[in-house]
Amino acid sequence: MGPPTVRIEPNETQGAGKAETILAAAKRMFLEHGFGAVSMDAIARAAGVSKATVYAHFAGKEELFGAVIGRECERYFADFSAGELDPEDVGASLTTLGCRFLDLLLSPDAIALHRLILGEVGRFPALGEVFWRAGPERNLGQIEAFMRTAAAAGTLRIDNPRLAAEQFVGLLRGETQLRYLLRLDSGTERAKIDTLTAAAVATFLSAFKG
């Protein structure tokens, strides 16, 4: 009576549920303490399962780590939709893009993820490529696409849309992200994000307005 090609596991709490629980616990631990400082024992305890169960689902600590990171990277820019941008109103569009970018970039999860990846990319070189493509590259592509349409519409004087996108991102970031990564600052209040974005947009428009 069920669908012929797809089988629904009757007890998802026991099968995939455990793996899910382990992944969630591992994510929390890794993001909070880093790779080296977290033991498989601690992950098992945090997930409420035995150590042997963890090893039943993941071949080892490194594989578990990779699974967590890959997952987070995918989630990273999932909610970005470039629909509501207007090439005619570049100020509003850049402000929208900027606020969204900074809101994500400075979020506690993103900061923790950056710390984790940058700290471990020396030991796991593949991490860099995975993260770049899932996060920064995708974001840069969306901003570049807007630069291109604005240049075509004549509302911005841009020769190199890719470079312009990178410079806009640079203006937005400044040293702010570094201060967050170094734990010298925190918080994503709307007023702060708006101020940072406004300054970047003003300078960018002053340089590229047609």
Partner DNA sequence: GTCTATACAGTGATAGAC
Partner DNA sequence: GTCTATCACTGTATAGAC
Catalog residues that contact DNA under the rule CB under 7 A. Answer: 14-15, 18, 38-42, 48-53, 55-57, 60-61
CB 118 to a copy of itself: min, Å: 5
- Report the Cα–Cα distance between both ends of the chain, in Å, rounded: 64
Specify the residue for token string 């929208």. Answer: 96
Q: Is the Cβ–Cβ distance between 35 and 65 less than 8 Å?
A: yes
* Site for a copy of itself, residues 14 to 33, rule: CB under 8 A: 32-33
156 phi and psi, to 5 degrees? -135, 140
Query: Which of 37, 56, 78, 92: binder of a copy of itself (CB under 8 A)?
Result: 37
Minimum Å gap between C-beta 131 and DNA is 22
Percentages helix, strand, coil for the chain, rounded to the nearest 5?
A: 70, 0, 30
Eight-class DSSP state of 95: H
- Fill in the per-residue mask, 93 to 112: x = in contact with a copy of itself (CB under 8 A), - = not in contact: -------------------x
In whole angstroms, the minimum distance from the beta carbon of 63 to a copy of itself comes to 17
Q: How far is CA 120 from CA 24, 79, 106, in A?
A: 19, 26, 20
Provide the binding-site residues for a copy of itself, judged by CB under 8 A: 32-37, 112, 114-123, 125, 127-129, 131-132, 136, 140, 163, 166-167, 169-176, 178-179, 181-184, 199-200, 203-204, 206-208
